Each structure stands twice: as structure tokens, then as C-alpha cells.
A and B are shown apart, each in its own frame.
Chain A
Amino acid sequence: MGILASVIISALLGALSFGYKSRREGAMGAALGILGGAVILGALGFCTFASDAESTEGVLGVALAGAFAWMFGAGTKAVFNQRAADLGSGEIRTGTYNLSWWWPWLLLSPTLLILVFFLYLPAYQTFTLSTKLTRLGAPRVADRCLSNFSDILVVNPTTVAIIPLIAIAAIWGIGLWNRLAMPGSTNAAIAAAVRPFGILILIFAFYFIFENENGGYRQIYVNTLIISGFTVGLAMIAGLALAYLAFGRIKGITVYRTLLIWPYAISPPVAGILFFMMFNATGGILAHVVDSFGNFVGLDVSLPNYTKSVGLARATIILASVWKLLGYNLLFFLAGLQTVPRAQIEAATLDGANSWQRFRKIVVPALGPIAFFLLITNLTYSFFDVYGTIDFLTKGAPAGATSVAIYEIIRVGVDNGDLGRGAAQSVILFLAVIGLTAWQFRQSEGRISYGST
């Protein structure tokens, strides 16, 4: 049954992604889709549909087949389109250099070697490891098919299958709404406004498919969303605000700028130590300040222990990460502000735009490319580099409320030596980052102008 479902879904998605305008095209798309599904399921030895596999693994198997079908279909289509474009353009493709075929490869080889050995090979090994049970130095390796993944999902396979489908349908629905709405109508305006939030439906849907029992992945998922979301949001807003202030003509501006950029030079673990020194309830600087203040006023007040309160613990991590990112964002926003065309601002001033309007309508759009770049780097930071900060500030306390995806990967894979589960979680994080980046690229298409036109 699982294989049948995989074949149907692969064929459908293959045709959908490749094109189905003619019968021939549709058939080719379906064939490509089935090929894609077969490649990945074959690589797994069709273990997802074995008699001893959990039903959730079967669901994941079908999903995987579908994803590969889509990739094969869309990938082939992209290659075809490129070929067609190349042929049609009549571009001269051979220059005056007449060298052997291996010359370009030789010139590319340093980059390729580095990519292969330090990126593709480890990535491939991570994918392989994620289907195993293994430890460093273990005499045996056991095959786990997809159970390293299904273990962190809810037990009920129907939930795992249905909820993401509903979310995808909803996103597709929003897309359809956008296409059908009469351009210029209120309906279209609402549809366009709703569109960027499609991703939130998917994010919300994932909440329901992660296991909620003690030690379940749902908590990690929520922690990661909250800590990353607030870190990136606050760091970008505060960075822009400070950059705007530090851009003005103030006495000693270079000193301010230097001091503001300083935290960028500090590593994430050191940021953790610094904030630990400040906020620690027993010996921290703030604890002393609060104590002295209490004694002075005659009140019995003391600094609460941030590691015991979910809100405070998360806030402390976010604060430390934002502080650490601020200098970096400031630097780029400052550079960006220098490219804002002064003539436009002056023209707007003459036309009677107030400072907020000038900021909103001229400065912010001009900063688009930089903001987009910062969004991606900040997200990467908040997903991967917060480990050191968390390790020194809370170690995931209280009761795992600040344990984010990367922290859990290192705890499971390195500290506990469970390479398979660690790899599986790292695949999930990898997919999340790829997904978010792809979504950001789609969102920014046509909105961000890199030119001065």
C-alpha cells in the first residue's frame, strides 16, 4: 500500500512540477517523478514499507518519495528551460581560447575539492548516519530506517500525514486567491497582504506533528522558534534604530560607532559568560546591585534566578544574542545608510515629507538588500551559533525550556554519543534552514532592488 501511494504521489508531483500541458509532457513528468521516488526509496532499501516498520515511517517514506519526485521534475524542467534559452539566444559560446576540455575543470578543482570534501561528503554522511543507530567506536551499526525521525514525531501516523497536507493546501489556497482576485480591488489587497504569512501556517502545522511527551521534540521546536524569532527581530530593529542614530552628526560619533560595533568581536560563548556574570543570582553583579539597593531602601528584594523561570531564561538568552548580533547589524546598516540617495531625501523634504515618512518611504526601501542579507545571516546565527551562549547561561534550563535545535543536536549526538539521532536532528535543522531561506528568496523576489534605478 505504501509503495502504491508513493508511485501515485510521485507521478502526480512529477507531472505537476515538470508540466502537464500535453499528454507527452505529462507522461514524462510522471515518469520522472516515479524515477525520483524510486531513487530515494531504493537508496533506503524500501525499508519504510517493510513489515516491521512503523506506520509513521511509511508516511515519511511517501513524503520523501513525493519530495524527490518534485525535485526531479522541477530540476529537469529547469535544465530544459536553460537549454532552450541558450539555443534561442544565439549567444556566441566559444571564445578565442581553444583549450582542452579539462582546463576549466582543473581551474575549478580547488573549489570543487573543498566543496566535495568539506561540504558534500559530510552532508551525505549525515544523511546516511541519520538512518542508523551507531556510536563512536561501536563494533556494530544497526539500521534504523527512518525511525530516528519518526521517534520525534507524534505517535499517530494519520496526524503526521494529514496536518502538513492541510497546511500546504491552505498555502496553495492563498496563492490561488491572489491569482483570482481582481487586480486593484480590496480583495486583491487583502490577498496580497495575507500571502507572506503562508509560511506561518506551515510553521504552526509542524507544532502539531512533533512529539509532545517528556523529552519530546515539540518543546525544542517551540524554543527554537521563540529564541530565534525574537533574536533576529530585535537584533534587526535595534540595529537599524542605532545605526540611524549613529549616522547623524554628533560630536565624537566615531567613538560611539566603535563602541557600538565592539560586541561583534566577541564570540558567542564569551557573550554567555558575560551575561552569566551579570545576571547570576548568587554572585552576579546585578544581584549585588539589587541587594545593596534593597538594603538601602530597607526592602527584602533579591534578583530572581533566571534559570528557574521559563520567561526570564529565554529573555536572557535572547538579550545576550541580540547584544552580540547588534554590532554586526549596525555595521551593515551604517554602510547601507551611506548609500541612501541624498538627493531623494532632499527632494522629499522639499515636498513636505516628515522625517518618519522619509525614513519609511526612502531609507527603508533603500536598505532592502542589506536587510535581506542580515535577515539570512542573523537567522543562521540564531540557529547555529547560540550554542555557546546557551551552554554558559542556562544549559537548557529550566527543564529544557531554552534547549534549541542546535543545543539538542550536540547534547544527543556529541555528549550522549548517539550519532544516528544527532544526525537525524541535524537533517531536520538543515531542512528548516533551507526551507526558510527558499521562502525568503521567494518573498524578496521583485521587492528588493539591488540597482539604483
Chain B
Amino acid sequence: MKKLFGLLVAFSLVAAACSGSDEGGAEATAENPVTIQMWVAFSDDARLGFAEDRAAEFTANHPEYIVEVTSFDSYNTVFEQAQLAIDEGNPPEIIHFFEAATQEALDAVDKDGNPIFQSVTEAIDGRTEILGEEVVLGDVVSAATNYYTIDGQLYSMPWNTSSTTMFSNMDILEAAGISEPPKTWAEVETACDAIMGMPDAPSEGCITWPNHGWFFEQALGQAGANLANNDNGRAGRATEVMLNSDAALDYVQWWSDMEDSGNYLYTGTQRDWDGTSAAFQAQNVAMLVYSSSDTTALTAAGDENGFKVQSSFMPFNQDREYAGNLIGGATLWMTAGMDTATQDGALAFLNYFSNPENAAAWHKLTGYIPITNSAVSRLDGEGWYAESPNSKVASDQLDAAANTPASTGALLGNFVAIRDVVTAAIEDILVNDADVATRMQSAQDEAQSLLDDYNELYGG
């Protein structure tokens, strides 16, 4: 028994030693480097590889720091794992987190009620250079700055930022006698009638896009309609959702009509990025509304399969004044409670990560917009946009937006679940021909109760 007890004591000592290891604020040196954990929600070679390469470069330039990149399969997993890690007292320094959960990240607290994340603006504290890395936070393009600025500061460092753009198979459009991608819903309908009227019309339909809440939000932004009260949650905590505004019903009705007429291809599952993209690449549809994040890949796929891909703005309702499209994507959040040396290392890395050279390379690799103004001018100077005009569309579309709460996008608690309510309702309308107004009303009720639940737990 004595032995057993001894073992137990030894075990608890080891456990205590493990949990207490990140105390103290020693200087970072090359002999005793500080590790900065970066958790990324990408698992594909290109995007994860980009992050890993930048981390390795940073470590090479600053041997007193080691940036370790860990990959997760989704934003939700990263967030969940981070919360668990924080409860265990061993959080990563940098976490990659998506726009729809901005409110949840702001609200997140640890067991003792302290915020999990800290404001990047506050941590930079007006410095223009950290550990020799130029601070680029102030240079971030306005669309991203507007979206992520809360109470006058950026809580997180914008990284992958995109918008919804349309990709047209110009070979099919031209065969149908259309020289330019359609701009409005009416033009899309005319173009689709022409395309589907051809003897060798695309086999699956004229146009497709994923049934993802983001597209619904984009349509509201275009029409200048808010998704939530209190200026889309930007003047104060959002307490009411508005899923059944006229603008919303118009969009869903148009979507449903397009499906009924056979012009819109519904691939059958919600959030189906792969299926819609595959249909476009296989030339089974002529147009694809998608995330600009895949501009490079989709353009290249056209080249490989022998058709010309042209990118253009997301089509909007010609009967409503265009207010602008919103961003999507993710930012890098910094956890609170680091010692100064670690925090400076993390900040230096974040700014290095999006310096003009890296931001431009990231844009070229994917199609996410160049995140800083200097990256834009750098690309312009290189002649990149003249060479690949598709890559400019998302930036142009975001620049065209009015800086209003509607076109900036909503800050909303329980947003992911509310998006699921929207897409489930739309699927019901598309597949089961549910009545648009009735079904959106029940979605509204369901979403409102989700928001009420959230605010009961987090609201003031």
C-alpha cells in the first residue's frame, strides 16, 4: 500500500510540474527559445503548407522563437480544442478562427471568467515595429478592417479574407451568344434561358452555388438589409435576428424559382463546396457563385479542362439599390495571458505573416484578397492583375461596397447554428417545395430562440 501511495504522490508531482511549466517571463534567447503555438484550421497541402513555410522562415530569422503550426480540420474543431486547452492551462498562442464566430470569440471566457483572447491593437500598443518586423495592422484593407473592428480596435489579425464572386464558363456563354457574364438576377435568368435552350446545354443546369448561410448573408448585404438589430450587432449586442425581411424573402424566392425552372442546380447537400465546384469544373453547369478564395484554382481548372473562366461580381437584385457585398474568411486571434517575450514574438510573427511579400504570395496561391494596401500596390506594380484579371474581382467588389452595417456584415452570437437554420429552411424550400414565406417564418422563430439562448448565457 505504501508503494502505491508513493506512486500516487510521484504521479501528482509530475502532473503539477507539467501544468506549471509556462509560468515566468524569462527572456527569449536562441539557446532557450520560446515556442509559439499556432493552430490553423486548414489541412490541405497548399494553405497549410503556406503557414508552415512562413513559420519556418520566421524561426530562421528569429532563432529565439519557434513557431509551431498545428493543423485542424475545421474552424469549429480549432475553437473547441482551444477552449479545452485553455481550461487545462496550456493554450496555443495564436488561433485561426472564422468570421461568423467573431462574437463568440469576443465573448469566450476561461473558467475564472477572464476573456480568452486579447485585442491585437491593444497588444501592439502603437508600436510600428516589433522585433524588427514592421507592423502592418494599420495597413489592412478597409473591408476587413471594417468587419473586424469592434469598439474601435482590431481584436484579431485578418488573414484569409474573401468575398463571393461568380465564375463563368465563357466558352458556354459565348456559344449561347452571351459575351459578358450577367450582372443582375434578371440578366442571369436571360442568360440561363439562352444557355439551357442550346441543343448541347450543360447537363446539370445553368448555374449553381453552395447552400451555405454566407450566400444568404451576401444577398442581404447587397440589398442593404441587416441580418440583426442594433446595426447588425455593431452598435450593441444583437438581440433580434431578421431572417424574413423582404430582401431575404426576395432572394430565397428567386433562388427557389431558379431551381424550379431547372436553371439552378441543387447538388442535394448543404454547404456543398466540393460538389458545386466539381459540377462547374466538369462543365456540367455554366456558372458558379463561389468564394473568391478558389479563384486561382478555378481559373487553372478551366485552363486544364480547356475552357475560359471569367470571374465577376456576385449577381444582385436589379430591383433594389446595390449596397455592397461582405467579406468572409478568418482571422488570427491571440490568446490572453502571455508573458511579454512570448507576446512580442507572437505579434512579430502575425505582422511578418501578412507583410506585403507574404500577403501577395498568399493571394496568388489562393485567391483570398491581398490583405494589406501595400500588398495590393505591390501586386499592381508586378503587373499581376493585368496578367490574371480574375484575381482583382473580389477586391474590386469589396471596394465597391458602401461602408454601412448591412454591407459590413453581422456580429451575432450562435451564428453557426443560425446559419444551419437558414440552410435547412432553404433546403426544405428547394427540395420539398415548402412555401417560402411560411418556411422562413419558422426559421426566423427557431433562429431567434437560438439567439435568445446565447444571449441568456453571454449577454450583459
Contacts and interface: CB of A to CB of B under 8 A. Distances in A.
Interface of A: 133-142, 213-215, 280-283, 302, 305-308, 394-400, 411, 414-418
B446 A415 contact: no
A305 B275 CA distance: 11
The main secondary structure of chain B at its interface with chain A is helix
Contacts of B453: 133, 418
Interface string B234-254: 000000000000000000000
B80 A136 contact: yes
B416 interface: yes
B-side interface size class? 35 or more
Nearest to B427: A399
Interface stretch (B277-285, B312-320, B326-334, B392-400): B277-285
A443 B225 CA distance: 61
B420 interface: yes
Nearest to B457: A138
Contacts of B284: 282
Given A139-B113, A302-B203, A415-B76, A395 B269 contact: yes
Given A214-B442, A308-B268, A411-B420, A142 B456 contact: yes
Nearest to B442: A214
Nearest to B439: A214
Interface string B198-233: 000001100000000000000000000000000000
A214 B275 CA distance: 26
B267 interface: yes
Given A137-B83, A302-B203, A397 B76 contact: no
B428 interface: yes
B109 interface: yes
Q: Which of A142, A214, A394 has the most CB of B within 10 A?
A: A214
B417 A418 contact: yes
Nearest to B420: A416
A305 B282 contact: no
Interface in B361-389: none
Given A281-B268, A305-B267, A394-B268, 15 more contacts: A133-B456, A133-B457, A137-B110, A139-B458, A140-B458, A214-B425, A214-B428, A215-B442, A215-B446, A282-B278, A307-B268, A308-B266, A398-B427, A398-B431, A417-B416
Contacts of B420: 411, 415-416
A397 B83 contact: no
A399 B453 CA distance: 24
Nearest to A133: B453
Interface in B104-156: 107-110, 113, 116
Contacts of A281: 204, 268
Contacts of A280: 275
B83 A136 contact: yes
Contact of B417 (A282, A308, A400, A416): A416
Q: Which of A137, A142, A302, A395 has the most CB of B within 10 A?
A: A137
A37 B248 CA distance: 50
B431 A308 contact: yes
Nearest to B459: A140
A417 B108 CA distance: 13
Interface of B: 76, 80, 83-84, 86, 107-110, 113, 116, 203-204, 266-271, 275, 278-279, 282, 284, 414, 416-417, 420-421, 424-425, 427-428, 431-432, 434, 439, 442-443, 446, 450, 453-454, 456-458
A-B pairs, top 7 by smallest CB distance, nearest first, are A307-B268, A416-B417, A138-B457, A398-B431, A137-B83, A399-B428, A397-B269
A397 B417 contact: no
B105 to A, nearest CB: 10
B231 to A, nearest CB: 25
A142 B275 contact: no
23 contacts: A133-B453, A133-B456, A134-B457, A136-B80, A137-B116, A139-B107, A139-B109, A139-B113, A139-B457, A280-B275, A282-B279, A308-B268, A395-B270, A398-B427, A398-B432, A399-B428, A399-B431, A411-B420, A414-B76, A416-B414, A416-B417, A416-B420, A417-B416
Nearest to B83: A137
Nearest to A134: B457
A413 to B, nearest CB: 11
Contacts of A414: 76, 80
B272 to A, nearest CB: 8
Contacts of A305: 267-268
Contacts of A411: 420
B269 to A, nearest CB: 4
A133 B373 CA distance: 44
B416 A416 contact: yes
